[in-house]
Structure 1
Amino acid sequence: MSTVSQIRITLDGTERAVAAGTTAGEALSADGRTVIAARVNGQARDLSHVLAEGDVVEPITIDSEEGRAIMRHSTAHVLAQAVQDLFPEAKLGIGPPVENGFYYDFDVAQPFTPEDLKRIEKRMREIVKQGQEFRRRRVSDEEARQELAAEPYKLELIGLKGGASEEESVEVGGAELTIYDNLDPKTGEVRWKDLCRGPHVPSTKAIAAFKLMRSGGAYWRGSEKNPQLQRIYGTAWESKERQDEYLHMLEEAEKRDHRKLGVELDLFSFPPEIGGGLAVWHPKGGITRRVLEEYSRRRHERAGYQFVVTPHISKSTLFEISGHLGWYAEGMYPPMEMEGATYYPKPMNCPFHIMIYKSRGRSYRDLPLRMFELGTVYRFEKSGVLHGLTRARGFTQDDSHIFCTPEQLADELASLLQFVLDLLRDYGLTEFEAELSTRPEKFVGEIEQWEEATEALRHALEKSGLPYKVAEGEGAFYAPKIDVHIKDAIGRRWQLSTLQVDLQMPQRFDLEYQAADGTRRRPYMIHRALFGSVERFFAILLEHYAGALPPWLAPVQVVGIPIADEHVPHLERVVARLREKGIRAEVDASADRMQKKIRNAQKQKIPYMLLAGDDDVSKNAVSFRYRTGEQKNGVPIDEAIEEIVNAVENRIQI
């Protein structure tokens, strides 16, 4: 019997011969710190993975998205090992990587304290310094159950296999079970083990920077019916410099938190007497919201949209036909029984817009028909996920539904996407990227329709020039979609606008139009939310600008600050002229000293302060002060008014 001494693999696009038994790490000449894993035939593998004939091998670097996820998952293992070293009674839940970090769930008798986290982090650093090695072993169900007999949550996961959630799948990825051992680099002794799909970094020395952030409660498998575990969150990065950048961003994000700014700037609040996730808008917040909405309305009018208004509740029949009662019942408020009928607060606007379409016969000459509504909807989010204006129970969607012929679909989507980008730019957002979500494994409708809709969405993206990535299989079961993401001033990514080609609603409601040849045909329906919700968009803008909204959006645009009481009439005349031109201006005639008035205006982030003393009155001028602290003295009143009006009308940021 002959022994194969060499195999052929593809590396860097080039086919080459290597010795049989060569590992991915050896083929890549990986150092285990920069290149920490390999992609073999498109699948992430450990560097210790032995290659086979015909394998295509690519490096996974620690500074790539995939590499960071692998490193963070490895750090989660180190966290769990450290916890069980210090708290031997702790039972293991799951520990997946997440955006910017990782977490691990534990069943412990008492919640972790800040002092506990310090001890755990210190123990983690000791493990990392040891350079423990990660070793993967295949095991049978029976072997896994024997080895992890003391871990009840792991035993439950073993029974799930292919039924695991996305986060749970980091431990049970399918039919094959594997355990990772953490080995002492000197003796080879197993220091710790965990059920895991992998891959992992070759050793803990690849973990360059990490920090434990906080702990909190989390229900096992996300169900309130299950035990509450203690979750420890951490962050991990490929270098201390990158981690410092991230931690600085978090500090900046805390300063910009819209909930904090909402209180400081007197914009909105969430009275407990009203209920969680239900905001009230104060006068200043209401002004900015009105300006934001009115500008959007004007832009929609110019783009050929028709405005509609629909009620806040509906009979259950509407949501039965639309499918919302079948798909989203858990997220809807409970029904109300009145006069023998069942009513629900609306979770979506789309069925109402469909009823407007159905209110009379439609011809191809009516299409495309673009409906737009600032429609308030209600969804019963769990209290644990509520987060100010960004995750609320009552919110207003800037909802559009466009009905068009199949022939119009591609051009309509391209026009819609350009409209979305242009309007977002008007609010000062400039960095965009998109995601095209395609047909999932489980879907409804005809494949041909899916392909047509997906290609139309792709055409819109290509025409816009917007950078995008394809999220294969991530579309809703009834429709493909485009999600537009923006980056804010401190680099955070927010998902904002959505364009979705709905393949089911027109069929469920039996929508038709009369074609040019007299036949009855089914229109396409496009869902388009530009802001997503007014509340969430307001919160994103507030954080993007750190509360210093552009002058055109600021609730108070100008404040007059007199040096002494006798200068108040001079400033009142200036303010009156500004108000005639639509500028939101006022005079601070309070008893406070001038310097305190300036500090108050800066705290309120008012764009312009107009100061006046004896010299300004005599020269018919003002001292012009910006919220940045810059000041110009002796500015003629006409010139000051012109500058302010120009900044507001042209949406200039200062």
Structure 2
Amino acid sequence: MSAPPVPPASATVRVPAGTTAGAAVREAGLPANGPEAVVVVRDPDGRLRDLAWAPEADVDVEAVPADSEDGRSVIRHSAAHVLAQAVQQLHPEAKLGIGPPIRDGFYYDFDVATPFTPDDLKKLESAMKKIIKAGQRFSRRRFADKDEARKELADEPYKLELIDLKGPEEDVVEIDASGELTIYDNVHAHTGETVWSDLCRGPHLPTTRYIPAFSLTRTAAAYWRGDEKNPQLQRIYGTAWESQEALDAYLERVAEAERRDHRRLGAELDLFSFPDQIGSGLAVFHPKGGIVRKELEDYSRRRHEQAGYEFVNTPHITKGQLFRTSGHLEWYEEGMYPGMILDEERDADGNVRKPGQDYYLKPMNCPMHNLIFDARGRSYRELPLRLFEFGTVYRYEKSGVVHGLTRARGFTQDDAHIYCTEEQMEGEIASLLQFVLELLRDYGLDDFYLELSTRNPEKSIGSDEAWERATNVLRKVAEETGLHLVDDPGGAAFYAPKISVQAKDAIGRTWQMSTIQVDLMLPDRFDLEYTASDGSRKRPVMIHRALFGSIERFFAVLLEHYAGAFPAWLAPVQVVGIPVTDDQREYVEQVAATLRERGVRVEVDSGDDRMQKKIRTHTLQKVPFMLVVGARDVEAGAVSFRFRDGTQVNGVPVADAVAAVQAWIGRRDNTSPTAESFTAAH
């Protein structure tokens, strides 16, 4: 088990009135260089302040080091300013957009005549290094009013727009929480001359020398303020860190993530594709991908049957009224494919005899499951009623959001809805969460924390009391698991709070997996009832649960987690037989036939390539077991094993080899077999 990174404890420093925070930090003997160098401080109100800030009264502040999340954000935002300065040095005509820090990096948007090229990035990096080496000082300056700011920034149209935005609640607004409109000057270290300036609320590093390591990574087109109605700008992305070592480690993580990218692996391993003829975000699974998907689904089905779920099936399309009742057309219409008008009837003269009705592709399965519950009277004796479906849904994600299998427009949810009494609710959620965690572990994910998403009052239905009851029971059950629990204020769907299981993969990335929602709203909207033990009619509690999230997304997560080398029980090809020469072909085919009789997915490579090339080919295809057979193996009635990591076990009798492979697959071992582990296991 693990939790999100916890920021290191920060030193508390007393800053006397009229003294700069930087002077107080130096007096306290805190680091001024290296990864632990103090770069800003946090005041008692939680605001980050420049080291040049001097309070009007004595105050205790927290020193923020470079290697903290806040410290890195300040480094990255300062690097964005240096980037913008370099761009305007090399391209004086460029107009400035915004340059915020983002997770693991920063970007800056520019209005330029032509897009930036990789060669431009190299030149900009060189210019940035010169600015950093010069040690220019970041100096905060306050405008007297907006008119003064407009006058100084008259040649920067996007900055003029920002000046007129109201409030600090918008990320791009340059007015800080105190209502001040400020600009940061980059001041020459020796002459004191202002070299360059940018409208900004800060804070910033003391000087550019506090940017120890950075890299520009890529360019992209981006609409101003994310609105397609606005001009398209050119965005440069970069990353900056507290040390060269931290930057190198990050770049290696990025490279490893690229090597594991499920879209690349999907093509290399012939698992799935996204044909243009079908449409964006709509995948087709090839035979090998279909095998993996089927294994994922089949094992999940068996576990659900054992846990008392009942399988249902619902159509892909429905009349619009169903989603008016559920509230999806009111709260979620932008995420749905447009409706279609069907079933209109006209007479011979073309007059409408029967008006058409609107139909929608379903974005959710829950409304249809409610209709199944409501198809007949229900008794308390039937509860909890656990309905389960692999239900394909369709959501119209914007083109810029679609990303392979992890953000698709058509996908299949392993969707369950549990109907229970209020008295059963807590126990059902607890057992459900345990079921979810156990099943994820079965697939090889075992590093979790939980996130609790609570109500957004402006985007929700139902009473405060109902939301509080549902949220409290989720929090109680989550805390009792012993897993770290993180709050996600306002992140709930419009109808219910939720717990989401966040799982870490093999390279430390966090993925949202299973979700559990306690819904006291939709049973009301659908007028669902059951007969209680005293004969009265009561509302059931409805619990929504998607274990994988979607089959497609879970497939992608596992593909990246295992870097394409699926565990043997999931691998599309579990064994490849490789005869050294044609003389061993018949023998290998006989071994393969024996394995197939035991349910093993096996192929024989009897092609013309040399043995070493065959081994390389199937190693690249991530086959867990390669049976290499030469003349000595045939003579001994044996086979030789070759594994993904290049290790080998020779001369294993055929009966032992078949039993060992079958046993390895049967126990669903999620590790990749090696000579050492295979020998130890059998």
TM-score scaled by structure 2?
A: 0.89
Within 1, Cα distance between the matches of 2:141 and 2:525? 50
Give the equivalent residue in structure 2 for 1:440.
456
1:177 aligned to which of 178, 181, 185: 181
Please say if 1:638 is aligned against 2:642: no
Matched, 1:285 2:289: yes
What residue number does 1:360 align with? 376
| Aligned match for 2:596, one of 561, 579, 592 | 579
> 5 Å matches for 1:105-254?
105-139=109-143, 140-162=145-167, 165=170, 167-169=171-173, 175-254=179-258
CA–CA separation in structure 2 for the residues paired with 1:145 and 1:639: 82
Whether the 8 Å CA contact 1:436–1:483 is kept in 2: the answer is yes
Residue 124 of structure 1 deviates from its aligned partner by 1.2
Amino acid corresponding to residue 290 of structure 1 in structure 2 = K
> Which one-letter code corresponds to 2:558 in the other structure?
L
* Contact 2:76/2:239 (<8 A) preserved: yes
Query: Does structure 1 residue 36 correspond to structure 2 residue 39?
Result: yes
My pick for the range that moved more, 194-203 or 258-267, is 194-203
* SS of equivalent residue, structure 1 residue 47: coil
Amino acid in structure 1 at the alignment position of 2:629: A
Distance 1:95 1:552 in 2: 47
Name the CA distance, whole Å, in 1 between partners of 2:159 and 2:596: 67
Aligned to 1:414: 430
Is the contact made by 1:319 and 1:325 (CA closer than 8 Å) also made in structure 2?
yes
Aligned to 1:381: 397
Report the residue type matching 1:36 in the other structure.
Answer: V
Provide the residue aligned with 2:514 in structure 1: 497
Q: What's 1:49 paired with? A: 53
Q: Give the counterpart letter for 1:19 in structure 2.
A: P
Cα distance, 1:45–1:358 mapped onto 2, change above 3 Å: farther
Q: Provide Cα deviations, 1:370-402, integer angstroms capped at 9, x if missing partner.
A: 222111111222223322212211111112222
After TM superposition, give the deviation of residue 286 of structure 1 in Å: 0.4
Q: Which amino acid aligns with 1:44?
A: L
For the 8 Å contact 1:560–1:611, the answer to whether it is kept is yes
| Alpha-carbon offset, residue 530 of structure 1 | 1.7
Aligned alpha-carbon RMSD (Å)? 2.3
* Aligned partners of 2:64 and 2:71 also within 8 Å: yes
Please name the residue that 1:429 is paired with. 445
Q: Deviations over 1:606-645 (max 9, x none)?
A: 1111122222222211112112211111101121112211
* Residue-by-residue CA offset, 1:299-350 (whole Å, 9 max, x unaligned): 1222222211111011111112222222222222222221111111111112
The 3-state SS of whatever aligns with 1:160 is coil
- 1:22 aligns with one of 19, 22, 35: 19
- CA deviations on 1:156-179 (whole Å, 9 max, x unpaired) are 2222223864x4257666844332
CA deviations on 1:124-183 (whole Å, 9 max, x unpaired) are 111212222223334333332222222211222222223864x42576668443322222
Shift in alpha-carbon separation, 1:57–1:377, aligned structure 2, 3 A? same
Whether contact under 8 Å (1:171, 1:198) holds in the other structure is no
Partner of 1:348: 364
User: Match for 1:568 among 575, 578, 585?
Assistant: 585
User: Given that residues 163 and 174 in structure 2 are in contact (C-alpha distance below 8 angstroms), is that contact kept between their aligned partners in structure 1?
Assistant: no
In structure 2, relative to structure 1, the CA distance for the partners of 1:300 and 1:27 (3 Å cut) is: farther
- Whole-angstrom distance in 1 between the partners of 2:431 and 2:382: 18
Are the aligned partners of 1:161 and 1:173 in contact in 2 as well (CA < 8 Å)?
no
Kept in 2: contact 1:181–1:191 (CA 8 A): yes
CA distance in 2, matches of 1:49, 1:518: 70
| Counterpart check, 1:64 vs 2:80 | no
**Cα pair 1:158 1:172 within 8 Å, conserved:** no
Q: Are 1:621 and 2:626 an aligned pair?
A: no
Once the two structures are TM-superposed, the CA of residue 240 in structure 1 deviates from its matched residue by: 0.7
Work out the CA distance in 2 between the residues paired with 1:57 and 1:522.
53
Per-residue deviation, 1:55: 4.8
Runs of 5+ consecutive residues of structure 1 not aligned to the other structure: 1-10
1:23, 1:50 within 8 Å by CA — same for their partners in 2? Answer: yes
Of stretches 171-180 and 414-423 in structure 1, the one that deviates more from structure 2 is 171-180
Shift of 1:433: 2.2
Spell out, residue by residue over 1:79-120, the C-alpha distance to the aligned partner (whole angstroms, 9 max, x if none).
111111221111111111111111111111111111111111
Change (3 A) 1:54 1:314: farther
Aligned with 1:94 (options 98, 107, 119): 98
Tell me which residue corresponds to 1:103.
107
- Of 625-634 and 517-526, the range deviating more from structure 2: 517-526
Cα distance in structure 2, aligned partners of 1:56 and 1:402: 52
Q: 1:425 Cα shift?
A: 1.1
The number of equivalent residue pairs is 642
Note if contact 2:174-2:181 (Cα within 8 Å) is conserved in structure 1: no
Instruction: Output the amino acid matched with 1:560.
Output: G
Q: 1:365 offset after TM fit, Å? A: 3.0
How big is the shift at 1:200?
2.0
Is 1:480 aligned to 2:477, yes or no? Answer: no
Whole-Å separation in 2 of the counterparts to 1:407 and 1:344: 36
Deviates more, 1:425-434 or 1:551-560: 425-434
